[in-house]
Each structure stands twice: as structure tokens, then as C-alpha cells.
A and B are shown apart, each in its own frame.
Chain A
Amino acid sequence: MSLNRELETLKQEIAELKEKLNKKEQLLHALYKKQEGICTYNNILSTDEIVRYSRQMIMPDITVTGQETLKNSKVLIVGIGGLGCPAALYLASAGIGEITIIDYDAVELSNLHRQVLHSENDIGTPKVDSAFKKLERLNGNIKIIPIIDHVNSTTINRLLKATKYDVIIDGSDNVATRYLLNDACVLNNIPLVSGSALQMEGQLTVYHYKDGPCYRCIFPIPPPPQTVTNCGDGGVLGPVTGVIGVLQALETIKILIHSPFVLSKRFLIFDGIASTFQNIKLKQRNIKCEVCGDAPTITSLIDYEQFCGSSAHDKVTDINIVKPEQEIEILCFNKLRDDTLVVDVRPELEFKMCCLPKTLNYSYTKIMDNIGDFIKFLDVNTTQLSKNVLVLCRRGNDSQKVVKIVQSHLINHNINLYNVKGGLHAFSKQVDTTFPCY
């Protein structure tokens, strides 16, 4: 207990010191700003700005005119996660005049391997606040606008009505938001820099740029929800989101300075395993497209969660499909687990990462491939004394499906399956917090 108290006191002290530091930094910042005015040798940029951006400005691709354009540009970044963080980092560094970041989510420990603007002491705080602090410290010459909010038709309409953005960056993590941003960009005539990543692969393109296609031209129908994997289930490597996020910043700059080679009508596929970039030639705008076609049927934003049949976030929605008598509570599970067969149905790689002692692993996918083999496994591993089997997984969803489906095949086997309610997440919260709640 005293260790806990010590931890708390220290945390409190650090928070107070940070607050103090923050105030001092703001003061310093304000003084700096007062000190620097417009450079007498250039009408738009300050002396510091000229030095700061000189390495990019002296290139014929940017020039001083390009830098002035960047300074006068407004970019909206939707999602400040694995893609949004590196994109924002490089755009702020490059001197984009106004960057708005919007996200509703809070920083979690499992974000830090790829969401490089957030750090350990930001856990639990809004991602937007954490990113704002870092970006502001990085470049005091520009304006960062933090917005903690869900991205939906209402909030996007409000944002786009108030500000004329030059580019929108899609750094979101779900299908519904991707369609929403596409339609919003088409209806407001703003190019959309779209990036995505999963596991070791990334994808990148610019939608609705000049005569190029929009997202709906290429994907008029949303994918079936069961075919969509999120980063929490499929995993993703930090450098892979990093590559795509940084390239999103690059395409944004290219759009702003009117580069003739913007990644429109093309689709870039990055394979982090093979270290290859594949550049796919896409079609032009589809004149029959529902939103950007010649006779559009979508003329205002719709309900995108309904359209896609999935939520506008990448969190798992818990299910409830087994009868109460087929479930046991986590505390009860903890008492029984030493003397009962516990089958952990998570994927093998997750089981190897962390598991409870004396539990056996038999993955959900393997069970569904061949239920007969799983029943043989249960027959071998249950004892004469106990024919009860406790089925366990990460959150208690796959285990419910196993109980529901397999129990109906067990009529002559005298074996009873029970779902461990809430799974290992519940175990970590209620029994032992040192079990990783990943």
C-alpha cells in the first residue's frame, strides 16, 4: 500500500511541476512571438521563418512562393493516431499555417508503439490534447486547433461550414468515417488524402483531386463488416503506419503547392515485408458515381454507420448470445479454474504472449474449422470427475460463440461448456491487474 501512496504522491508532484513548466513555456513563447516581426527583407515571412524553412524553400519544388502558400494553408487531420501523428508532425514542421486535429479518443498504453506524438504520461488524456502540446512545442509559428469530438455528419458539417480547408487528411480507423469524409470532401470540393494500414501493409491515394476518382468511384459498395479487420485484432507495426502517415503529409504538401504529380488516379500499396511500393493505375472519376458523378444522388451527408452496417470507431462491440446458466462470473471462474478444464480460444500468437497457468489453447478459428476434432479434444481432456469446461477468450465474445455453437453438438457427450463472462479483460480488471489487458 505504501508503495502505491508513494506512486500517487510522485505522480501528483510531477503533474504540478508540469503545469508550472507549461505556464513558463507559454510565457517564453509569447515573448518570442513579440520579438519576431515580419522580416524587412521579405513581405510575408519572418526572419526566423526564412531560416527555419530555408532547407525546403531553396528547392525549386517549393521556393519562397510555395512556403508562403504553405503558411496560408489550412489542413484538417481526422484521427490523431497511427497515421495522424506522423502526418501532423511533418506538416507542422513544414510550416502549414493552420492545422486542425480532431479525435474523440483518449491515449492508451497500446497506442504508443505507433502513435508517436503521445507519451507515457499522456495515458488517459485526450489524444488531441496530447498531440496539441507536442505540436505547439515543435512549431510556434503556426496555429494548431485541437478539437475533442466524434467525427460524424453533424460535426463535419459544422467544421466545414466554419473553415475552408485546403486539404483533409483521413487518418481514421473505420469504414463509416472513410465514406463520410469522402462525401464531405466531394460536396465541399476539397481533396482527400487517404491512408490506411494494417499489420505489415499500407495503402495511400488522393481522392477527389481534379478529374480523379473519389472513394465511391472505386468502392461504391462498402465491404461486408465481417471482412474488415481493425488494428486491435489484426495488429499493425509502427513504422508501417509511420510510412503511410508521412506520405500523407508529403501528398498534402504537393497538393498545396500545386505539384503536377499528386497521387490521384493512382493507388499506392506498401508491403513492409517485401519492402515494395506498388503503384496501381486507377480509373478516372466515374460519371455515374453517386456523389461525384454528373447526376449525383447524394447531395448532403447521410448516416454512414447505417450505410456501412458498422460503427464509426474501431472498438469491439460486445455481444450477448448465451443463456445466463451457460455463463460464469469472473470471480467464480477464479475459484474454479484450478480444478476445471479451461480452454482459451484466442489465436495461438495471443495465447503465447500471455496466458493463465494450466489453461489449454484451442483457437476459435481452429474450432470452427473442425468442430468434431475439438469435441475429441474435450473428450480427452475432461476427467471422469468433472465434465465441465470453462471457455475463455480476450473479451468474452468469441468464447460465447464457441459455447453457443459447440454445446449444440455435445448432446451425447455429457460435457458442459461455460462462457467466462468478460474474458481476460474482466480477469485483469477484477482479479489480477498484472494480467495484461491488451
Chain B
Amino acid sequence: MKITIQFGGGVHLLFGNIKLHEIDLPDREKHWTIGDLLLWMTDNLLQERPELFLQDKSVRPGILVIVNDTDWELLGCADYVIQPKDTIGFISTLHGG
């Protein structure tokens, strides 16, 4: 299943410095949730310091997860079932000024 992963607010630094990843999730019987995706990303995309991305099996505090321009909290968080062509964003909040 082809989806797009987008990073912002510096999260891309943990993923080989690339902001936009077009990925193809392996076909399987069971559907893919964002929770599954997080684990897949940790094994396949994450390049360094996993503790700066994940904490207690979810994203660390301060990262917004966005599914097609909507906060994942409106869609069931980690239980959201990913659809083909979804764009899933991980955006760290900024604090500078």
C-alpha cells in the first residue's frame, strides 16, 4: 500500500534528513494502523536516537501526528486504519522566536 510520510519541525533529522518519504507498506491480510506504522518506521526508516521519536509506544510529547491535514486525535490516534494514498505527517512543535 503506497502512502506518503511527511516530517516537519526538525523530525526529519532522525530520518536521514529527508522531509518527504513515498513508501510502500508490505501487503498483508491484517490492515495497517498508525500504531503498526510507528513500529514499521522504527525498523525501516528511523536512522538515529529512537527516544527522540517514540516514547511509551507512541510518538513523544511535542509531536503532532497529522493524517491528510487532520490531527490524528480526531481519527482515533494509533488505531486509525491507514488507507492507500494517505499522507501521514509527524510535525514537532517549534518554540523559537
Residue numbers of A with Cβ under 8 A of B are 79, 81-84, 171-175, 178, 195-199, 201-203, 218-224, 226-231, 234, 236, 241, 267, 269, 271, 278-283, 314, 369
Contacts of A234 in B (CB 8 A): 10, 96
Inter-subunit contact B74/A283 (CB<8 Å): yes
Q: Which of A241, A281, A369 contacts B97, CB < 8 Å?
A: A241
Tally of A-B Cβ pairs under 8 angstroms: 100
26 CB < 8 A contacts A-B: A81-B97, A82-B96, A84-B97, A175-B95, A196-B94, A196-B95, A196-B97, A198-B9, A201-B94, A203-B9, A220-B61, A222-B62, A224-B52, A224-B55, A224-B60, A226-B52, A227-B52, A227-B62, A228-B95, A234-B10, A267-B71, A280-B69, A281-B69, A282-B71, A282-B74, A283-B74
Minimum distance in angstroms from B94 CB to a CB of chain A: 4
CA distance A269 to B10 in the complex (A): 13
In Å, the complex CA distance between A203 and B97 comes to 10
* A197-B69 in contact (CB<8A): no
Nearest-CB distance from A213 to chain B (Å)?
Answer: 9
Out of A219, A267, A280, name the residue touching B62 (CB < 8 Å).
Answer: A219
Among B64, B70, B95, point to the contact of A218 (Cβ < 8 A).
B64
8 Å CB interface, B60-97 against A: 60-64, 66, 69-71, 73-74, 91-97
Query: Which B residues are within 8 Å of any A CB, using their own CB?
Result: 8-10, 48, 51-52, 55, 60-64, 66, 69-71, 73-74, 91-97
Residue ID in chain B nearest A173 by CB atoms: B97
A199 neighbours in B (Cβ, 8 Å): 10
Q: Are B97 and A79 in contact (CB under 8 A)?
A: yes
Chain A residues whose CB sits within 8 angstroms of the CB of B8 once the complex forms: 201, 269, 271
B61: contacting residue among A223, A231, A314, CB under 8 A: A223
Inter-chain CA distance A220–B63, complex, in Å, is 11
- B96 in contact with A280 (CB, 8 Å): no
Known: A172-B95, A223-B92, A278-B69. 19 other contacts (CB 8 A): A172-B97, A196-B94, A196-B95, A196-B96, A198-B95, A198-B96, A219-B62, A224-B55, A224-B61, A227-B60, A227-B62, A228-B95, A234-B96, A267-B64, A269-B8, A280-B69, A280-B71, A282-B74, A314-B96
Q: Is the CB of A82 within 8 A of B97?
A: yes
Instruction: Give Cα distance in the complex from A269 to B19, angstroms.
Output: 14
Residues of B within 8 A of A175 (CB): 95
A367: min CB distance to chain B, Å: 14
Of A175, A219, A280, most buried by chain B (CB within 10 Å of CB) is A280
Give the chain A neighbours of B61 by CB distance below 8 A: 219-224
Instruction: State A198–B10 Cα separation when bound (angstroms).
Output: 9
Quick one: which of B9, B66, B70, B73 contacts A201, CB cutoff 8 A? B9
Least CB distance from B43 to A in Å reads 19
* Residue numbers in A under 8 Å from B9 (CB-CB): 198, 201, 203
The answer, among B55, B69, B92, B97, for a CB contact under 8 Å with A195, is B97
Report A-chain residues with C-beta under 8 Å of the C-beta of B94.
196-198, 201-203
Nearest 8 interchain pairs by C-beta: A223-B62, A221-B61, A196-B94, A83-B97, A231-B96, A198-B96, A198-B94, A173-B97
B93-A219 in contact (CB<8A)? yes
Given A196-B97, A234-B10, A283-B62 contact (CB < 8 Å) = no
- The listed residue (B71, B73, B96) touching A230 by CB distance below 8 A is B96
Determine how close the nearest CB of chain A comes to the CB of B85; give it in whole angstroms.
17
> In the complex, what's the smallest C-beta–C-beta distance from A368 to chain B, in angstroms?
10
Given A198-B9, A219-B62, A227–B97 Cβ distance below 8 Å?
no
Task: Give min CB distance, A190 to chain B, whole Å.
Answer: 19
- Which of B48, B66, B94, B95 is packed against the most chain A CB atoms within 10 Å? B95
**A241 CA to B95 CA in the complex, in Å?**
12
Residues of A with C-beta under 8 A to B96: 82, 173, 196-198, 229-231, 234, 236, 314
Given known pairs A201-B9, A271-B8, A281-B74, the reply for A223 and B69 (CB within 8 Å) is: no
Most buried by B among A82, A173, A269, A314: A269
